Structure 1
C-alpha cells in the first residue's frame, strides 16, 4: 500500500460523548479502529449500533476494522451478543480484528456478509464452541486466529468452505482430540502455518484407523499456491508486516509446543509430505523418545525440541546412522545408566547404547563398525538366528562365515538374515547355491574355495542379469565343470565381467591345460556355434505357431458369432456382394410368402409388409389376401405360393397354432425346405403363446431345433432383412401367382380377363 488512511475513534458510551479523533481524519478512510470504553461489565450490539459514526467513515468502503471494548480502571468488560446486524454494512472488509473482547458465543451468521474477508482475529476471547456454518461464506479466508480461547474440540466440517486458509492459530486452548483436529484440517490444501501450542494433545497421530489399520495422517501441506492466492497473501503480509517480516511465505511452520506429547517420529514428516523448508516446534512437551527410520529431504530443517525429558538409550541410536545429530543442536538427554543429563552432541555411540549381543550366535563375534553390524563366526556349523542391525541404529549387517565347514548357506527366512548386505562364505564345503539361501539385498557375495561345480540359471538371472544390487561376486578356486550346461554361466560372466573380479581365475577341472572358463574354446560344447541359430529358429517357430493359434481363434470366433456378424454387415450395407443368394432361385416370382392367421392381418398388412416392400432393396411379397383368388383350390395355392417364393415367413402366434390352414402352410414350407436341403423358413414369434399343447409334433420339433425372430427384439428388422434373399433384382410385377399355367391376380383387369376365358 502506498498510503494508509487510518481512523481511530474512541467512545465512552456511559457519557455519550463526541468521538475523539486520534489519527488521520480524512473522508476516504479504509482502516478503522473503534475503541469503546465503559464502566459497565457488558457491552451489547445495540450499544455499538447506537453510536453516531456515519459522519466519520463510510462502512462499505472499509477494508480493515478493529473493534475492542475497554473497561475503565481495568475492570472486566465483555462484548456480548454481537451478531450480523452490526457487521452487515462492512461488506468490503478484508481484515476483521475482534480480539480481546471476552466474547463467549458467536452467532452462526455473524460473518455472512463478509465474503471478501482474508484475515480474521478472534483470539483472547472466551469462546467455547464454534458453529459449523460460521465460515460458510469466507471462501477467501487466509489467516484465522482462534488462539487463547476455551475450545476443547472443533466442530466437524468447520473448514469445508475455507480452501485457501494459509495460517491457523489454535494455541492456548484446551484441544485434546487429535483425530477431531486432523479430520477438520483435511480440506486445507494450502495450510503452511499451524499453531496448536499450549493445548492438551498427547499424540500427533489420529486414533481413527482405516480398514487395514493404517493411521490417517496429516497429508495437507503442499506448495501448489495459485497466483490469486499469492496476491492476496502478499496484501495481508504487507498490511501486517510486524507479523511476517523476515518469514518465508513458502516455508511450513508447525507449532506443537506446550502439549503433552510423549514421543515423536521423524517418519511423520515424510508421510505427511512436509518438505523443506520447514520448522517444527516440539518444545516443552513430555517427549522421552524420538524415532526415525526414513530419511528426510537433503536440507537443513529446523526442529525445536528443548525442554523435553529425552532419554539417551538404544532407542536413540539411529541418530548416528544418518547423521541426524545436526538437527538437535543443544539437545540434552538423560543417560539411562548414570541418570545424568548430558549434551547429545557430546555422547559417543557406546555411551548412548550399551548394547549386548543377546542374539549373537554361538562361536560368533558381533560388533559395530562404521555403518555396519559385523557378525564374524569361527567354528560354526549352522546359524539359527542373527542379531538385527536396527538394535544399534544401523540398517544392514555383514556376515562372515568363512573358514568353516558349511555345506549349505542358511535359509533366507532365518531371523536377522534378511538384513545381511555382505556375505563372506569362502573356504567352506558349499556345493550349490539356491535363491532360498540368499538375502534379497545382497551387495557382496564371496564363494571362493568351495565345492561349486556350476551355478543354476535362476541364481544367475536373479542376482546378475535382472538385478544391479549385487556389486561383487567372487567365484574362483571352485571345481567348475565346463560342458554344454555351463553355457549360461559363460555368457553371464562375459556380460557382467566387471562385477566378477576374479573371472580370469575360473578354471575348468574337466579340461586339460588349466583351460579358463571365459576362453572361447570349442571343447566347451560341440554345438556352441549353433546356439544363435537355434535361438533364431526357436523364435521363428514360436512366432509362426502363435500366428496360427491367433488365426484359428479368429476363425472359431467368426463361426460362433457368424449370424451376428453377417446381420450387422448386411444392416450397415457393408460387403453385401459377399452375401448373395444362390442363382437357383432366380426363376422364382416372389421373395417371400407370408403365412399367418387372419386374426394377425393387421400386423402383417400395416407393419410387416410396408417394412419389407419399402426398404432398400425392396422385397416382393406374396400373401393369401392380396395374391390369391377367392374360391380357388386352397391347397394348390398354398403349394404354389411356397414353391414360387424364395422364403416363407411364418407369423407364429396363438391364432396361427389354432388355425388348420396356417399349420398346413407351415408343413408345406417345411417339406419344401427338407426336399431342397436349404433354409427356406423365417419364423417370427408374434405375441404370447399360452396354449403350447396345441402345437403339433412337426412344428414343435422345428422350434426345438431352429432359432426364430422375436417381434420384441430390438434388432428385429435388421435380422429379418438379413434372413431375406440378398441378390440384386430388376423390376418385376409382384401381383401374379401362377397355378397350373393359369394366372390368379387381385387386379380388376386380370379378373375380367379370367372371367372372359371361362365364358
Structure 2
C-alpha cells in the first residue's frame, strides 16, 4: 500500500537536494528514476506491473523510450518520487499500467516537463488514486515553453499542500486552484510572473499559508486574499513590490506571520496593519523605508517579532513601539538612525532581543530601554556611540561620574552585549558589577585605552570578552586578589597597541601559562594569542606569546630617580636599576629617595666610568636593598671589609687601581656566594698575593673574568701562576715540611701494612693468588710432588648433580686445570671400599668435603673425612677443603674434626661471590702452576 508519489525530470540532477535515496538506489548516469515510498511488504520481492521491482520497503520502476527516461520509486507506502532525465520531453507513464499504489498521498516530481494531460491523469497512469493525493510538488521543470494551464490540477480535489519551485512560470491561470478547493498550503517560489489574478484564491476558504517569495511580483491586487479567513501566514519576500494597499489586509484578522522583506517598499500607510491584531511576526527587512508613520504598529498588540533591518530609516516616530507590550525581538540594524526617541522601547515590557547595529547613533539614554529589565540581547555595534560626559554639564554641576549614569545600568538581565565599532573609550564597570547574567561582551573596534584585571571579574563562570582593535597599551594586573577563583574568561586582544613594559609582566605570565602565585587564579584564555603583539622600548613588535617576561621593565620618572641618573624598574625580580655611569662622580649617590623600610625591592647600581676612590658608606641604611654593584673604571685602590654589605650578590670592580685584596676582605667574600669581576686592575703578583691567588682558584668561586686577570708587571695571566712562581723563597720551607710529612706517612703505612698482613694473611693470599701476584709467597712443599691427583672429592650421592655439573667441570676445565679423583671413575671395582678410600686420600694433595645435610647422613662420607684428617695429621699440613653446600649444619650433627674446620672458618661456602677464587687458593699450587 503506497501513499505518496514524486515525479522528476532532472536538468541539473538535483535529486539529492530534495530526497535522500535509499542505499543501492543511486540514480545511474544513463537514466532517471521514478520512486514510490511506502512500507511495501517484504514477503513479495517482484511486482508484475510495468518494469517495477519491489525491494524491501520500496519499489523501483524504470523505463526508457527514446530520449524519455524515467524512474519511479515508491517509499514507505506513502511517498512517490518521479525523476526524469534532462532529455525527457514527454511524460508518458503507460509503462506502469497494471500497477496499483492506492495508499500514496505524497508525490514529488523533479526535472520533468509539464504533462499534456492533467496531473490527476498522470498519477492514475502510475496506479495512484488522484483523489487520495494530499501533497504535490513540481520542481525544476526541464522545458520552459509550455505554460501552466488551469486543468493541470484536475482530479486533485483532496490536495492540501502544493509546491511549485523553480519552474520559471510566466503566469498563473486564474482558475488554477479551482479543482483543489481543500488547499491549505501554497508555495510558488522562484518563478517569473509579475502579477497574480485577483480571484485566483477565491475558492480556497481553508487556505492557511501562502508563499510567493522570489518571484517578480510588482503589484498585488487589493482583493487577492479576500474572504481567506483561515489565512495565517503570508510570505511575499524577494519580489519587486513598491507599495502595499491598506485594503490588502483589511479582513485578515487571523494573520499571524507576514513577510514583506526584500522588496522595494519605500513607505507605509498609517493604517496598513490596522486589522492585523493577531499578527505575531512582521518582517519588512531589506526595503527602502526612510520613515514610519506615527502609530503604524499601534494595533499590533500580539506582535512578538519585528524586523525593520536593512532599510534607510533616519528617524523613528515618538511612541512608535509603545503598544508592542508582547514584542520579544526588534531588529533595526543596518539603517541610518542617528537618534532614538527618548523612550523608544521603554514600554516594550517583554523585549528580550534588540538590534540597533550599523546605524549612526551617538548617544544612549537610560529611558530608551525597557523598564521591566527584560532585555537579554542588545546589539549596538557599528554606531558612533561614546560614553564621554557633556562638557557643559561638567561646568554646571562639577565632575560627573558617567559610570553611575550608564544608560544600561537598569538592564540587569543582559546576557549578550555587543558594542563593537563605536567610539567608546573605557570599559563600563556595569559589565562586571551589574549584569549578573552576562556571558558575552563585544567592545572591539573602539577607542579603549585602559584595561585592568577589574574588567575580568564577572558573575558568570564563563564569559567571552572581545577587546580587539582598540587602543589598549597595557593590561594592569598589579592587584589580582579578585581573580582568585575558578572562573573562565575568553579574551580577544588582537589589533591593540600593547606596550611591553613592567605593567604587562603579570598578564604576560598568565597568558603564557606561567605561575604568578601559589594560589589558583581564574582561567584567562587569550583566544587570538598567536596574533596579539606588543611593542618593546626599541619600537620592535613581538608576539605576546614569545615575550620574555623576565626582561619587562619600566622607566622611572626623573623626579623619582637619583639626580642626573636614569632609573628602571624590572617587575620580575622587583629590581630598581640605577644608571649613574659617565657622570664624573667622586662619591656614591644618595639612594634615600628609593629606600623604604618595608619595600620589597632590590637595587642594581651602575657606577662605571666615574671618579670614585672608595666604597665607604655602602653599609649605610640607604644601601640596604643594594644587591648588584657595578663600579668598573673608577679610581678605587683599596677595599675595606667594612665596606662590603652582606646583601651584595654582584660586585664588579674591573678597571680600578686595586693591587691586592686584604685577607679580612677575602674572609667576607668567602662567606658569600657573590659573583665577582676583577680584571683590569694593576695587581701586585708577589708573596703577599698568594692568599688572593688561592681565593681565585677556588672551584666554587664565581669569578666571571678569571681568565682575563693579569699582573701589573709582565702582563702575566693569573691563571698561569702558582704559589712557587709568585714566591719561590716562601716555598722552600714548605718543601721540607712536605717531605717530612711524606716520610712519616710512609713509615706509618709500613707498620700498619705489616700488622694488617698478619691479621688478614689468608684473605690477602687468596687475592694475590687470584690475581697472579707475588706467587712466590704461596708455593707448595715438595712432599706433594709424587701425588697422582690434585684433589679427591668426598660427597653424598644425593649431591652428585652439584659435583658432576658444577664442581668437577669448574676444577678440571678452569685455569689452572686440576686432576680430580672420583670414586665412580677412578676406583677399581671389587676392591674393599675402605682400602680405596685410604688410597684415594693418600694419592691426592687435597680432599674436598662437600658438606651438606646429605653428607652428614652418609656413613661413607664420615669415613672419607676421617681418613683425610688422619693423612693431614701424618703430613703435618692442611689437606682438607670443606665446601659448605646449603646451610651450615648444626654443630651437634658434626664430628669433632668437621666442627674444628667450621669453627676456624677454614671452609668455602657455595654461593659466595669469591667462591672459585677461594677454592683455587686452597687447592695445591706448586711452582710449575704458579709460573704459568
**TM-score of the two chains, using structure 2 as the length reference:** 0.31
Point out which structure has higher relative CO (alpha carbons under 8 A, 6+ apart): 1
Structure exhibiting the larger radius of gyration computed from Cα positions: 2
**TM-score of the two chains, using structure 1 as the length reference:** 0.36
